[in-house]
């Protein structure tokens, strides 16, 4: 089955943490700090930068389990053509694809 999200990104035993909230509240910054992954895109201000659902993984060395942190487009987006409903739809579609 093809998916616009990486189908191997989330395994059955993975712990999935969904990070949701308004644009500019530090969701991506939090994920970058947690995963130490510099490819996480951080915005400069209240303008939105994350427009797609993105997954970042980290390994919990204690349990040996993969943790999948999901960055999501923020609500109250600065781009007027992107509604909260559209954002919620993107997040829901991602979850249904897992
Ligand atoms: N003062 C302060 N600024 C933060 C904090 N976390 C993120 N920021 C800043 O807020 C802006 C938006 O951050 P970002 O992580 O892209 O937010 P996102 O839209 O929720 O993903 C950036 O300029 C960050 O540097 C924080 O804890 N304190
Ligand atoms: Mg973001």
Strands 65-71, 15-19: parallel, antiparallel or unpaired by DSSP?
A: parallel
Whole-model pTM? 0.84
- Sign of torsion over alpha carbons 25, 97, 37, 52: negative
In a domain, 83, yes or no: yes
Coil, helix or strand at residue 91: helix
Shortest-distance Cα residue to atom 23 of ligand 1 = 44
Ligand 2 centroid to 83 CA: how many Å? 16
Q: For residue 74, give its domain range.
A: 58-98
Kindly report, residue by residue over 45-61, the tens digit of the pLDDT: 666 666 789 999 999 99
Kindly report, residue by residue over 24-51, the tens digit of the pLDDT: 899 999 999 999 999 898 887 666 666 7
In a domain, 81, yes or no: yes
Average pLDDT value for the chain: 84
Integer Cα distance of 65 and 58 in angstroms: 9
Number of domains comprising the chain? 1
Integer Cα distance of 97 and 54 in angstroms: 13
Ligand 1 centroid to 60 CA: how many Å? 25
Going from the C-alpha of 29 to that of each of 13, 33, 83, the distances in angstroms are 26, 6, 23
């Amino acid at each position: 089955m093809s998916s616009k999200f990486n189908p191997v990104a989330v395994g059955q035993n993975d712990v999935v943490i969904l990070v949701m909230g308004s644009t500019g509240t530090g969701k991506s910054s939090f994920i970058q700090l947690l995963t130490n992954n510099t490819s996480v895109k951080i915005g400069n201000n209240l303008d939105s930068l994350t427009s797609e659902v993105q997954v970042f993984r980290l390994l919990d060395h204690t349990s040996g389990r993969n943790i999948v942190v999901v960055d999501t487009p923020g609500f109250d987006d600065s781009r007027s053509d992107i509604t909260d409903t559209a954002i919620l739809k993107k997040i829901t579609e991602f979850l249904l694809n897992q």
